[in-house]
A and B are shown apart, each in its own frame.
Chain A
Amino acid sequence: MKLQDLVRPYVAAFASRFLQMLQYRTAALAGFATQCWWGGIKVMVFAAFYGATAIAGASSPMSLAQAVTYTWLAQGLLVLLPWLGDPEVAQAVRTGAVAYDRLRPVDAYGLWFARSAGWIAARVLPRVALMAAFAAVALPLMGLNEWAWQPPAHVAAGLAFLLSAMLALLLSTAMVMLLNVAITAALNERGISAVATPVVIVLSGNLMPLALLPDTWQTALLLQPLAGLMDIPARLYFGQLSGWQAIGGLGLQVFWTLALVGLGHFAMRRTMRSLQIQGG
Chain B
Amino acid sequence: MPHILVDHLLKTYRISERDPGVMGALRGLLHRRHRTVEALSGVSFELQRGELLGFIGPNGAGKSTTIKILAGILRPDGGRVEIDGRDPFADRERHVARIGVVFGQRTQLWWDLPVGDGFDLLRDIYRVDPQRYRRTRDELVALLHLERVLDQPVRQLSLGQRMRAEIAAALLHEPDILFLDEPTIGLDAPSKLAVRDFVRRANRERGTTVLLTTHDMHDIEALAQRVIVIGHGRVLADSPVEALRAQVMAERRLVVDFAQDAVLPAQVPGATVHSRDGQTLVLDFDPAVTTAPALIARIAAGHAVEDIRLEGMAIEAVIARFYAMHGAAEA
Contact = CB atoms under 8 A, between A and B. Distances in A.
Interface of A: 1, 5, 8-9, 11-13, 16, 20, 23, 95-97, 99-100, 102-107, 111, 273-277, 279-280
A9 B120 CA distance: 11
B313 interface: no
Contacts of A96: 106
Nearest to B105: A280
B124 A100 contact: no
8 contacts: A9-B125, A13-B125, A102-B92, A102-B96, A105-B96, A107-B93, A275-B74, A279-B105
Contact of B103 (A106, A275, A280): A280
B45 interface: no
B299 to A, nearest CB: 49
B124 A276 contact: no
A103 B73 contact: yes
Interface in B9-52: 13
Contact of A105 (B97, B106, B107, B117): B97
B96 A103 contact: yes
Nearest to B128: A8
A97 B125 contact: no
Q: Which 5 interchain pairs have the tightest Cβ spacing?
A: A12-B124, A105-B97, A102-B73, A100-B108, A9-B125
Contacts of B124: 8-9, 11-12
Contacts of A274: 75
B71 interface: yes
B121 A12 contact: yes
Contacts of A13: 121, 125
Contact of A16 (B75, B113, B181): B113
Interface of B: 13, 64, 68, 71-75, 92-94, 96-97, 99, 101, 103, 105-108, 110, 112-113, 117, 121, 124-127, 181-182
Contacts of B105: 279-280
Contacts of A12: 121, 124-125
A105 B108 contact: no
Contacts of B103: 99-100, 280
B310 to A, nearest CB: 39
A16 B117 CA distance: 9
Contact of A103 (B64, B101, B182): B101
A108 to B, nearest CB: 8
A273 B124 CA distance: 26
A276 B16 CA distance: 13
Given A16-B113, A276-B74, A277-B74, A95 B106 contact: yes
Given A273-B75, A277-B68, 19 more contacts: A1-B127, A5-B127, A9-B124, A11-B124, A12-B124, A16-B121, A20-B113, A95-B106, A97-B106, A99-B73, A100-B108, A102-B71, A102-B73, A105-B125, A106-B93, A276-B13, A276-B74, A277-B73, A280-B103
Nearest to A280: B105
Contacts of A99: 68, 71, 73, 103, 106
Nearest to A9: B125
B99 to A, nearest CB: 8
A102 B101 CA distance: 11
A144 to B, nearest CB: 40
Contact of A280 (B64, B99, B125): B64
A23 B112 contact: yes
Residue of B71, B93, B96, B124 most packed against chain A (CB within 10 A)? B124
A1 to B, nearest CB: 8
A9 B127 contact: yes
B113 A105 contact: no
Contacts of A97: 106-108
A92 B296 CA distance: 61
Nearest to A111: B125
B112 A20 contact: yes
Nearest to A11: B124
Contacts of B181: 280
A103 B74 contact: no
Residue of A8, A11, A23, A103 most packed against chain B (CB within 10 A)? A103
Contacts of A107: 93
Contacts of A277: 68, 73-74
Contact of A104 (B64, B75, B125): B125
Nearest to A1: B127
A269 to B, nearest CB: 11
A8 B127 contact: yes
Nearest to A276: B13
A16 B113 CA distance: 9
Contacts of A1: 127
B110 to A, nearest CB: 7
Contacts of A275: 74
Contacts of B101: 100, 103
Nearest to B94: A105
B112 to A, nearest CB: 6
Contacts of A103: 71-73, 96, 99, 101, 108
B31 to A, nearest CB: 20
Contacts of A273: 75
A184 to B, nearest CB: 13
